[in-house]
Structure 1
Amino acid sequence: MDSPKRARIAITLFFFLSGFGFSSWASRIPDIQHRLQLNNAALGVVLFSLPLGLLCTMPVTGVLLQRYSSSRIMFIGALAFNGMLSILGFVTSVWQLVIGLFCFGASRNLLNISMNAQSVGVQALYQKSIITTFHGVWSLASFCGAGLGGAMVYFRVGTAWHFLMVGILMVILGFIAYPGSLKQPPATSGRGRFALPDRGLLKYGLICFAVMSCEGTMIDWSAIYFKEAVKASEEMVTAGFVVYMAAMATGRFCGDKLLHKIGIVSMIKYSGLLIFSGLLLAALMPHPISAGIGFMMTGVGVSCVVPLVFSMAGKSTTMANGPAIAAVSTIGYLGFLLIPPVFGFMAEAAGLRWTFAMMALFGLVITALIIISSSSRSSASQKTPLPASPAHHPAEDHPVPDLQ
């Protein structure tokens, strides 16, 4: 029998190492862009190799979760993820970076999907909602990773030593955390292959796509926006990214309490409005203070939607939690990893400010989708509870409208 507290601590540590490692990479993108002499369009092409690696392994991960324990896949993914991070710091040419990012994305996929499957399993051991706290730790770790990245830039430490140090420390953390993870049997769903989201899961995937498009864009381009549009000093280039990650971490730690008060529909609706307002403010007023406030609003807006979507997908009655999360992630991570490279082409053609303004429309899409769906099917949605789970959460009494 798995100890709830021990399992919660272990999965928390895996969320930490995932966030810290990824933000370490993101915080040094401007340095790598400058070192390899890439313009925004060229950087967009190079960054596309990361989602390509993820998408190529997405079906494989779904199959692996039906054959092996999610804890084993999570551990292997953590080792590969941080190993590839260490290698990225030593690239000296574009083709090396492309190959490195492809493998980086593939290993990140193994880690994140299995890690989210583990978090849903841990949630089932508790009577209260704790799911957004895991993602809050990911954001906190990202904030710490971004802060360390800023310090490395300030003290002019190269990416090679920076990434190698982080990679080694996170691998050690993985070895410490693994024994406490949930030893779940393979998640059998009656299918021997990867399956796309069914009709019941598709609505979660669409919400996830819009939110994660904004999240991925902020991670990849916020530092570059502060450098080129805000004209921040070299020491302040990563400030926007740090503020964004801090706001997202705060939102996720407060998310469970707020969820019990206003419900899922309102959480998603207000999140969309915050994303729209924040990105638009940063685009219209590219000053360090106003852009920082805009990035802060965006961070709060994106903070809770994804963990709630993954939590609901994990309670699917038609698929086991691992394959269900993998299926929803297929759509959601398309936004997270495909939109940022496309952003590069748009920024080269229309400029960073206009492109950020266009990204703000994703927030309106999220809010409009929720409002239209809840008003047109209000009576039906009031009678439709969320999928049952071993531990009922009060927030589940606020049903999500049918978006199909």
Structure 2
Amino acid sequence: MATHLKYFVTHRDSFFIGLVFTCNSLLFGSWITRIPNIKDAIRLSEAELGLALLGAPIGSLLIMPLSGWIISKLEVGKTTLLSGLLHTFSLVLISIANSFWTFTFALVYYGFINALMNISMNAAVASIEKSMKKPIMSTCHGMWSIGAMLGSMAGSLTLGLELGTSSHLIGAGLAVALLLLGLSGTLFRLKESKNVEDKVFALPKGGLLLLAVLAFCILLSEGAIADWSAIYMRDIIRSDPYLVGFAYAGFALLMAVGRLSGDALIPILGKKKLVFYGGLVSTFGLLLAILSHSAVLAILGFSLTGIGFSCIVPVLFISAANEPGYSSGTGIAAVTTLGTAGFLVGPPMIGILAEWYGLNWGLVFVLFCSLLVSVMSLRVKFR
């Protein structure tokens, strides 16, 4: 593991694309800790918040059919940089939202531009992997988890310091924009490896469809924890304000540890075992979080869920990028399309369950999805 990480850090293209993953998650980790504040400021119910959160997956689905074509026209590196810079503006829109509809619109834009950045940066990783013949996908996703952890911890700190939502989010967006500009020289050089017969658009079917169903379950679960863990800590566990963001921070920290080890573990344990046992560990972690009545145990439960989830998405993206007959970007986009539908179904379902039965039962649904990942992995061929 140490040798792999040393190579990753010293290889310029690998490390810089890893930093792009960190930039993406810094934006994400920053705003999710502000969900309770936004909910209170706009006076949204649990169900209304769930419906507003639909905006992000709707925006994602709008860009999915076009993403492969955009990457093929602009090249993967330029698409990554441009979408990243445009993404920083999403935090500005979220910070100034003052109603259900303006908040929903801000999230539509967030989902639209985040999905394009997500697909292009993962396609860039797949291209780098093919050129240097070394796995870096899991490590890059580990860099994403590090950024999410830092963003959520910084968000908790700003909450404890009573810093305003707008000041926090606009400042975070500006910092990420400056970091991306510093990476622009390397990003401009990155290109996607292509074959003449590769498709630039595809709906998932066959092997891609099975991978996409797994992505549906796992991304629903990850999104639900991101969207609802802070509210769960505040309203159900009734934790200290300084600890509100630490449920997701712990989740992201152990996810980062798992992902940074993933590129070394995948060849040893195999993709199928990592997905199967990862689903079981995350199921146990969610069960602990749901049954606990203390902030410490809840944070521990969410953290275990993070290490369980850690290598699953990288495995799905590696397999999608290696699916015959598709370019890396198109294979990843096809899997992400149905995966993003998990975000579409998840937020309102969790919100409605929370409204009717309590947020604990919303997390029980997430637990079921996590268990389903383990069961389904036994039938999937991972490439």
Normalising by the smaller structure, the TM-score range is: over 0.9
Per-residue displacement from partner, 1:267-321 (whole Å, max 9, x unpaired)? Answer: 1111110121111111122321221121011101111110111011111221111
The structure with the greater share of residues assigned to helix is: 2
Equivalents in 1 of 2:127, 2:354: separation in Å? Answer: 41
- 1:164: which partner in 2? 170
Does 2:292 correspond to 1:303? Answer: no
Does 2:19 correspond to 1:13? Answer: yes
Does 2:116 correspond to 1:143? Answer: no
Summarize the Cα distance change of 1:280–1:189 in structure 2 as closer, same or farther, 3 Å threshold: farther
Summarize the Cα distance change of 1:286–1:336 in structure 2 as closer, same or farther, 3 Å threshold: farther
Matched position secondary structure for 2:202:
coil
Equivalents in 2 of 1:367, 1:99: separation in Å? Answer: 35
Q: Is the 8 A contact 1:62 1:327 kept in 2?
A: no
Q: Which moved more, 1:149-158 or 1:350-359?
A: 350-359
User: How well do the aligned residues superpose, as a CA RMSD in angstroms?
Assistant: 1.8
1:340 is displaced (CA, Å) by 2.4
Equivalents in 2 of 1:367, 1:106: separation in Å? Answer: 30
Equivalents in 1 of 2:364, 2:97: separation in Å? Answer: 33
What TM-score do the two structures reach when normalised by structure 1? 0.88
Q: Is the 8 A contact 2:124 2:192 kept in 1?
A: no
Equivalents in 1 of 2:271, 2:101: separation in Å? Answer: 44
- 1:40: which partner in 2? 46
Q: Is the 8 A contact 2:199 2:327 kept in 1?
A: no
Per-residue displacement from partner, 1:238-294 (whole Å, max 9, x unpaired)? Answer: 121111111111111122222232211111111110121111111122321221121
Q: Is the 8 A contact 1:68 1:186 kept in 2?
A: no
- 1:351: which partner in 2? 358
1:194 is displaced (CA, Å) by 2.5
Of residues 175, 182, 200, the one that matches 2:207 is 200
Equivalents in 2 of 1:49, 1:339: separation in Å? Answer: 12
- 2:337: which partner in 1? 330
Equivalents in 2 of 1:249, 1:228: separation in Å? Answer: 27
Per-residue displacement from partner, 1:112-137 (whole Å, max 9, x unpaired)? Answer: 00010001111123343221000000
Q: Which amino acid aligns with 2:24?
A: S
Of residues 147, 158, 161, the one that matches 1:152 is 158
Equivalents in 1 of 2:52, 2:67: separation in Å? Answer: 24
Matched position secondary structure for 1:286:
coil
- 1:395: which partner in 2? none
Does 2:69 correspond to 1:63? Answer: yes
Does 2:18 correspond to 1:25? Answer: no
Matched position secondary structure for 2:131:
coil
1:41 is displaced (CA, Å) by 0.5
1:175 is displaced (CA, Å) by 1.1
Does 2:287 correspond to 1:280? Answer: yes
Summarize the Cα distance change of 1:65–1:198 in structure 2 as closer, same or farther, 3 Å threshold: farther
Does 2:319 correspond to 1:317? Answer: no
Equivalents in 1 of 2:95, 2:348: separation in Å? Answer: 20
Q: Which runs of 5+ in 2 are unaligned?
A: 1-9
Equivalents in 2 of 1:299, 1:125: separation in Å? Answer: 30
Of residues 346, 349, 367, the one that matches 1:342 is 349
- 1:107: which partner in 2? 113
Equivalents in 2 of 1:242, 1:20: separation in Å? Answer: 12
Summarize the Cα distance change of 1:185–1:249 in structure 2 as closer, same or farther, 3 Å threshold: closer
1:68 is displaced (CA, Å) by 2.5
- 1:396: which partner in 2? none
Q: Which amino acid aligns with 1:134?
A: C
Q: Which amino acid aligns with 1:183?
A: L
Identity of aligned residues (%): 31
Q: Which amino acid aligns with 1:226?
A: M
Which of structures 1 and 2 has the bigger CA Rg? 1
1:12 is displaced (CA, Å) by 1.3
Per-residue displacement from partner, 1:140-193 (whole Å, max 9, x unpaired)? Answer: 000000011011101111111111111111111111112112431585664776
Does 2:211 correspond to 1:217? Answer: no
Does 2:235 correspond to 1:228? Answer: yes
What TM-score do the two structures reach when normalised by structure 2? 0.93
Summarize the Cα distance change of 1:73–1:154 in structure 2 as closer, same or farther, 3 Å threshold: same
Of residues 85, 92, 102, the one that matches 1:96 is 102
Per-residue displacement from partner, 1:336-366 (whole Å, max 9, x unpaired)? Answer: 4531232111111111112212221112211
Q: Which amino acid aligns with 2:252?
A: M
